Amino acid sequence: MKIVVTGAAGFIGSHLCQFLLEKGKHEVVGIDAFVRDELKIIGSKNMEAFLAHPRFHFISKDMLHIEWSEILKDADIVYHLAGIPGVRSSWGQDFRKYADTNILATQQLLEACSNSGIKKFIFASTSSVYGETTGRVSEDTRTAPLSPYGVSKLTGEHLCRVYWKNNGVPIVILRFFTVYGPRQRSDMAFHRFIKQMIANEPITLIGDGTQSRDFTYISDCIEATAAVVNKPALIGETINIGGKERSSIINVIRDLENLTGKKADIDCIGSMRGEPMHTWADISKAARLLEYKPKVSLTEGLAEELAYFKKYYT
């Protein structure tokens, strides 16, 4: 099976490529232009474990300037994970990057897939499309993003549905809830907290710490994402991918104190903007359609991420 993965050098994309290569006999084509500042710095580090794999082919090119016909030739599956992430940096003039990458590039890829024989187009979306909610959130909950980033991802979802209904592109939408673990982006809270604690620096906390998230460990996220390949009757579905447990940010800091044996010095640096106070995924649909059952507890996942970044930063 030939599988195309956009955003292959990123956090989730690199883990997905590695999983597909290790667990199957797939040919994987990874695409990434390192358009994010962080990826420009770390380059192909996230792909070190599989970059030389004989069934992996890497293309470093901006999606806006790709000739898709050759790449999609004989492709069975497209995972569209590429995009500019992050709520806080999506305001002001920076939104142009989000519009180009999350909206325009998505439309161009969907257009190209209209003329291909792919069996599934899997679009990586986000819990940010829901906005402020209470209780467990199911996929039919009204969407009301609080940030330009959320708007850009919801627009990507709408484009997927338009191309499914009108052009027959076989889309599946996955909404990820706060994925964490090794290779996590440096702007995300866990990575930042761990880096600061390793360096014996104050933890920079946005908000008061009472905000809670449904945290999804990377291996659970990848198992659910990879399961889409072989599951029938998914075309047109939107599916939440959440974690084993949720927690407040302040409790995460307490867990890191226990894991590191250090007392965190917390520096509150401002209020949240464009982010909900709480997220909580109803994953019953994922359980039914993907046989998804997250396995990794928050403490276990934090310990794995801590061990990874200890090697990374020391």
The CATH number of the domain holding residue 291 is 3.40.50.720
In this structure, is residue 304 part of a structural domain? no
pLDDT cut 90: percent of the chain above it = 96
pLDDT of residue 44: 94
Note the pLDDT tens digit of each residue in 180-206.
999 999 999 999 999 999 999 999 999
Closest CA to 39 of 73, 83, 104: 83
DSSP-assigned beta bridge partners for residue 174: 124, 239
Q: How far is CA 60 from CA 7, 71, 108, 277, in A?
A: 10, 13, 17, 37
pLDDT cut 70: percent of the chain above it = 100
Q: How many domains does the chain have?
A: 1
For residue 229, is pLDDT > 90?
yes
In degrees and rounded to multiples of 5, residue 187 shows phi and psi of: -85, -10
In this structure, is residue 88 part of a structural domain? yes
For residue 36, is pLDDT > 90?
no
pLDDT of residue 108: 98
Q: What is the pTM of this model?
A: 0.97
Catalytic-labelled residue, pool 79, 98, 130, 149: 149
Structural domain boundaries, residue 236: 2-184+214-245+277-296
Residue 191, CB-side half-sphere exposure with 13 Å CA sphere: 15
Q: Is the dihedral of CA 212, 218, 219, 220 positive or negative?
A: positive
pLDDT of residue 37: 86
Note the pLDDT tens digit of each residue in 175-185.
999 999 999 99
Note the pLDDT tens digit of each residue in 230-272.
998 999 999 999 999 999 999 999 999 999 999 999 999 888 9
Note the pLDDT tens digit of each residue in 129-142.
999 999 999 999 99
**For the chain, what's the residue count?**
314
Query: In which band, very low, low, confident or very high, does the pLDDT at 24 lie, cut at 50, 70 and 90?
Result: confident
In this structure, is residue 49 part of a structural domain? yes
For residue 209, is pLDDT > 90?
yes
Closest CA to 24 of 51, 55, 59: 55
The answer to whether residue 312 is catalytic is no
DSSP-assigned beta bridge partners for residue 79: 5, 122
Query: In which band, very low, low, confident or very high, does the pLDDT at 171 lie, cut at 50, 70 and 90?
Result: very high
pLDDT of residue 131: 97
In this structure, is residue 95 part of a structural domain? yes
Residue 286: other Cβ atoms inside 10 A = 23
Residue 76, CB-side half-sphere exposure with 13 Å CA sphere: 9
- Determine the average pLDDT of the residues in 208-225: 97
Q: Please name the amino acid found at residue 12.
A: I
- Rounded to whole angstroms, the Cα distance separating 310 from 245 reads 24
Query: In which band, very low, low, confident or very high, does the pLDDT at 8 lie, cut at 50, 70 and 90?
Result: very high
In this structure, is residue 171 part of a structural domain? yes
Contact 50, 92 (CB under 8 A): no
Q: Kindly report the average pLDDT of the chain as a whole number.
A: 96
In this structure, is residue 136 part of a structural domain? yes
- Rounded to whole angstroms, the Cα distance separating 30 from 238 reads 24
Note the pLDDT tens digit of each residue in 74-96.
999 999 999 999 999 999 999 99
Place of tokens 């969407």: 143
